[in-house]
Amino acid sequence: MHTSVTPRSKLPDVGTNIFTVIGQLSAAHQAINLSQGAPNFPCAEALIQQVNEAMLAGHNQYAPMTGLPALKQAVADKVARLYGQHYDVDHEILITASASQGLYSAIAGLVHPGDEVIFFEPSFDSYAPIVRLQGAIPVGLKLHFPDFHIDWDQVRASITPRTRMIIINTPHNPTGQVLSKDDLAALAAVTRDTDIVVLSDEVYEHVVFEGAAHHGMATHPELATRSVTVSSFGKTFHVTGWRVGYCLAPAALMEEVVKVHQFMMFSADTPMQHGLAAWMQTADHYLGLSAFYQRKRDTLATLLEDSPFRLLPSAGSFFMLADYSHFSDETDSEMVKRLIVEYGVATLPLSAFYTDGTDHKIIRLSFAKDEATLRAGAQALCLVNPR
């Protein structure tokens, strides 16, 4: 008789993440899905054709380890044009198999056991577990409620000699807030004369509303010298399932990120890289993305005017928060379940983005959906009975 091995878990408190749990519940109840930040509309057909052509042309073996030169060049050109920062194609740009893999590689490559990593909550769910897997300590600072700005005095007070990294996310998932120029100045001031690395998750860099500029690390020459910026082709070109992203960093930082990448993935998907490189050469497709998503945000907000929910302002990303604290005492998880089971619409509880489960009685809505889905989802939310 053989008994199976029970491992000593490295993440004993971690279960299946909220995107999967709610996705499954939503599917089981055939709910309208406003939960995951993934488009339910197609990408450009010409982009698919470019990938098909790459496959048919035989580009089906390993890509160069740090990425296809033509794709890295397209990224370098875009970043220089939009943000003014010049990244060296050979040493400062890495194509990754998803932005998530870029985040993992940056944290694993640069954070040592016992180091502290500051991040801001609510936050995307992977940051803290990745830090813990390095034997390091995630230090979650809460964004100021209810407008979710960063309290820079709190950041300054939280920095210790062991602080190795600060994780930034702008535009922000799940709150839809964006960093301002003043935020960048404050970040530069608190990190000046330290060896703290900034890891900046900018996967929604092309989704910033009201004509505002994206204030990423590449727009700030001083911060760029200490930053690893992570972005995503999936979010930008409606292909989140392709799992292709990229990192930007000065050569010395990038060298360590690449060391992890080469043992984790070796290289990202080859035909997708060829397709994306060819696609990026045809036009600056990302330029219309902010207006495209702003229309979706506004459509959903208008349709929800007759709902009992109070919407919080969204300045960027695929997301908008909705407050129900004035009409129900339910926890946000109870509310999300009830919305799926009784009203057939799936959203996410904001508490899932806090390591301590803070419940503000707020849910997250994704408007990265086609018009019919936004309409049907809003219609369901308008039927909710205040109790």
* Nearest approach, Cβ of residue 157 and ligand GLN (Å): 29
Residue corresponding to tokens 């003014």: 84
Name the residue type at position 121: E
Closer CB to ligand GLN, residue 175 or residue 270?
175
Closer CB to ligand GLN, residue 87 or residue 353?
353
Q: How many residues bind ligand GLN (CB under 6 A)?
A: 5
For ligand GLN, the binding residue among 19, 152, 327, 354 (CB under 6 A) is 19
Stretch touching ligand GLN by CB under 6 A, among 34-42, 217-225, 274-282, 375-383: 34-42
Closer CB to ligand GLN, residue 37 or residue 171?
37
Closer CB to ligand GLN, residue 37 or residue 271?
37
Q: Of residues 37-76, which lie at the interface with ligand GLN (CB under 6 A)?
A: 37-38
In whole angstroms, give the CA distance from residue 145 to residue 137: 24
* Nearest approach, Cβ of residue 41 and ligand GLN (Å): 16
* Nearest approach, Cβ of residue 173 and ligand GLN (Å): 5
Closer CB to ligand GLN, residue 38 or residue 117?
38
* Nearest approach, Cβ of residue 127 and ligand GLN (Å): 12
Half-sphere exposure of 175 (CA within 13 A, CB side): 23
DSSP state at residue 237: H
Question: Please, what is the angle between helix 99-110 and helix 251-264, to 10°?
Answer: 110
For ligand GLN, the binding residue among 26, 33, 173, 270 (CB under 6 A) is 173
310 sits in which H/E element = strand 310-311
- Residue 310: phi, psi to the nearest 5? -105, 120
* Nearest approach, Cβ of residue 368 and ligand GLN (Å): 8
Residue nearest to ligand GLN (CB): 37
Question: Please, what is the angle between helix 332-343 and helix 18-28, to 10°?
Answer: 20
**Residue 236 contacts residue 279 (beta carbons within 8 Å):** no
Quick one: CA dihedral 119, 125, 126, 128, positive or negative? positive
Q: Which residues contact 99 (CB under 8 A, 6 or more apart)?
A: 201, 203, 230, 231, 232, 234, 235, 245, 246
Question: Binding of ligand GLN at residue 36 (CB under 6 A)?
Answer: yes
Question: Binding of ligand GLN at residue 229 (CB under 6 A)?
Answer: no
Question: Binding of ligand GLN at residue 349 (CB under 6 A)?
Answer: no
Closer CB to ligand GLN, residue 92 or residue 269?
269
**Residue 110 contacts residue 228 (beta carbons within 8 Å):** yes
* Nearest approach, Cβ of residue 26 and ligand GLN (Å): 12
What angle is formed at CA 353 by the lines to CA 215 and CA 138, rounded to 5 degrees?
80
Q: Which residues bind ligand GLN (CB under 6 A)?
A: 19, 36-38, 173
